[in-house]
Structure 1
Amino acid sequence: MAERKLLAGQAVRRLRRRAGLTQAAMAEMLAVSPSYLNLIERNHRPLSASLLVRMAEQFDLDPRTLAAGEPGGGAVAIRRRLADPLFADLEVDRSEVDEWLAAAPGGAEAFARAFDRLGGAGSDTAATGGDDPLALVRQEVERWQNHFADLDQQAEMLADDLRLVGADLYGAMVERLRVKHGLSIRVLPVDVMPDALRRLDLHARQLQLSEALDAPGRVFAVAFHLGLIEARTEIEALARGAGFADRVAERLFRRHLASYFAGAIVMPYARFLRACEGSGYDLDLLQRRFGMGYEQVAHRLTTLQRVGMRGLPFFMIRLDRAGQVSKRFAGASGSVLATAAGRCPLWQVHGVFDRPGATQVQVIELEDGARWVTMQRVVSSQGWGGEPVGFAIGIGVEVARAGSLAAVRGVDLAGPATPIGLGCRACFRPDCRQRSLPPVGRSLSINERERGVPALRFAGD
Structure 2
Amino acid sequence: MVQRKLFLGARLKRLRRERGLQQGAMAAELGISPSYLNHLERNQRPVTAGILLKLADAYDIDIRAFASEGGEHGGADQLAEVFTDGMFQDLGVSRQEILETADNAPALAEAVTRLYTAFRELQRHPVGADTEGDERSYITPETWVRDFIQSSRNHFPDLEDGAETLGGALGDPLSVAEPLRRRLKEAYGVDVRVASPEEMEGASQVYDPQRRLLLLSSLLRPENKTFGIAYQLSLLELHPIIARLIEAARPPDAGTRHLLHVSLANYAAGAIMMPYGKFLTAAERYRYSIDRLCAEFGANVEQVAHRLTTMNRQGARGVPFFMLRIDPAGNVSKRYAGEKFPFSRFGGTCPRWNLHAAFQAAGQVVTQLIETPDGHRYFTVARTIERPIKTELSGGLLAIGLGCDIEHAHRLHCAEGIDLERAPVTPVGPSCGICPRMDCAYRATPPAGRTLAVHEFRKTVSPFPFVGA
TM-score by length of 1: 0.89
Asked if the contact 1:199–1:208 (Cα under 8 Å) also holds between the matched residues in 2, the reply is: yes
Match of 2:277 in 1: 270
Q: Bigger shift: 417-426 or 126-135?
A: 126-135
Cα deviation, 1:53-103, whole Å, max 9, x if unaligned, reads 22222334443552364488154443333333233223333344444455x
Identity of counterpart residues, as a percentage? 36
Q: Please state if 1:362 is matched with 2:360.
A: no
Q: Please state if 1:88 is matched with 2:89.
A: yes
Match of 2:133 in 1: none
Cα deviation, 1:328-369, whole Å, max 9, x if unaligned, reads 113x41312264524211111122111111121111112222
- C-alpha distance in structure 1 between counterparts of 2:20 and 2:343, whole Å: 34
- C-alpha distance in structure 1 between counterparts of 2:465 and 2:243, whole Å: 52
Match of 2:240 in 1: 233
Match of 1:113 in 2: 111
Specify the code of the residue in structure 2 equivalent to 1:429. Answer: R
Match of 1:157 in 2: 165
The one of 413, 432, 436 equivalent to 2:440 is 432
SS of the residue corresponding to residue 345 of structure 1 reads coil
SS of the residue corresponding to residue 212 of structure 1 reads coil
Alpha carbons of structure 1 residues 9 and 254: separation in structure 2 relative to 1, 3 Å: same
The one of 151, 166, 171 equivalent to 1:143 is 151
Contiguous gaps of at least 5 residues in structure 2: 127-137
Specify the code of the residue in structure 1 equivalent to 2:429. Answer: G
Alpha carbons of structure 1 residues 46 and 127: separation in structure 2 relative to 1, 3 Å: farther
SS of the residue corresponding to residue 333 of structure 1 reads coil
The one of 322, 329, 332 equivalent to 2:329 is 322
The one of 384, 391, 397 equivalent to 2:404 is 397
Asked if the contact 2:2–2:49 (Cα under 8 Å) also holds between the matched residues in 1, the reply is: no
Cα deviation, 1:218-260, whole Å, max 9, x if unaligned, reads 1101000000100111111211222122211110110011111
**1:154: how far off?**
0.5
Specify the code of the residue in structure 2 equivalent to 1:376. Answer: A
- C-alpha distance in structure 2 between counterparts of 1:94 and 1:112, whole Å: 16
Asked if the contact 2:94–2:449 (Cα under 8 Å) also holds between the matched residues in 1, the reply is: no
Asked if the contact 1:177–1:184 (Cα under 8 Å) also holds between the matched residues in 2, the reply is: yes
Aligned length: 454
- C-alpha distance in structure 2 between counterparts of 1:9 and 1:353, whole Å: 44
SS of the residue corresponding to residue 351 of structure 1 reads helix
Match of 1:183 in 2: 190
Alpha carbons of structure 1 residues 2 and 70: separation in structure 2 relative to 1, 3 Å: closer
- C-alpha distance in structure 2 between counterparts of 1:327 and 1:132, whole Å: 15
Q: Bigger shift: 266-275 or 71-80?
A: 71-80
Specify the code of the residue in structure 2 equivalent to 1:333. Answer: E
- C-alpha distance in structure 2 between counterparts of 1:125 and 1:291, whole Å: 42
- C-alpha distance in structure 1 between counterparts of 2:48 and 2:123, whole Å: 37
Q: Summarize the alignment of residues 12-23 of structure 1 with structure 2, pairs less than 5 Å apart.
A: 12-23=12-23
Q: Summarize the alignment of residues 43-122 of structure 1 with structure 2, pairs less than 5 Å apart.
A: 43-63=43-63, 66-67=66-67, 69-70=69-70, 73-101=74-102, 105-106=104-105, 108-119=106-117
Match of 2:380 in 1: 374
Alpha carbons of structure 1 residues 179 and 439: separation in structure 2 relative to 1, 3 Å: same
Alpha carbons of structure 1 residues 5 and 211: separation in structure 2 relative to 1, 3 Å: farther
Alpha carbons of structure 1 residues 98 and 163: separation in structure 2 relative to 1, 3 Å: same
- C-alpha distance in structure 2 between counterparts of 1:277 and 1:52, whole Å: 27
Q: Summarize the alignment of residues 250-399 of structure 1 with structure 2, pairs less than 5 Å apart.
A: 250-330=257-337, 332-337=338-343, 339=345, 341-386=347-392, 388-399=395-406
- C-alpha distance in structure 1 between counterparts of 2:409 and 2:4, whole Å: 19
Alpha carbons of structure 1 residues 229 and 220: separation in structure 2 relative to 1, 3 Å: same
Q: Bigger shift: 200-209 or 358-367?
A: 200-209
**1:292: how far off?**
0.5
- C-alpha distance in structure 2 between counterparts of 1:33 and 1:223, whole Å: 50
Cα deviation, 1:412-437, whole Å, max 9, x if unaligned, reads 33444211123323323221122233
Match of 1:420 in 2: 428
Alpha carbons of structure 1 residues 111 and 4: separation in structure 2 relative to 1, 3 Å: closer
Alpha carbons of structure 1 residues 265 and 124: separation in structure 2 relative to 1, 3 Å: farther
- C-alpha distance in structure 2 between counterparts of 1:36 and 1:355, whole Å: 56
SS of the residue corresponding to residue 91 of structure 2 reads coil
Q: Bigger shift: 409-418 or 340-349?
A: 409-418
Root-mean-square deviation over aligned CA pairs:
2.8
Q: Bigger shift: 152-161 or 363-372?
A: 363-372
Alpha carbons of structure 1 residues 81 and 414: separation in structure 2 relative to 1, 3 Å: farther
- C-alpha distance in structure 1 between counterparts of 2:158 and 2:357, whole Å: 38
Specify the code of the residue in structure 2 equivalent to 1:141. Answer: I
**1:113: how far off?**
2.4
**1:172: how far off?**
0.9
Alpha carbons of structure 1 residues 424 and 26: separation in structure 2 relative to 1, 3 Å: closer
Asked if the contact 2:118–2:139 (Cα under 8 Å) also holds between the matched residues in 1, the reply is: no
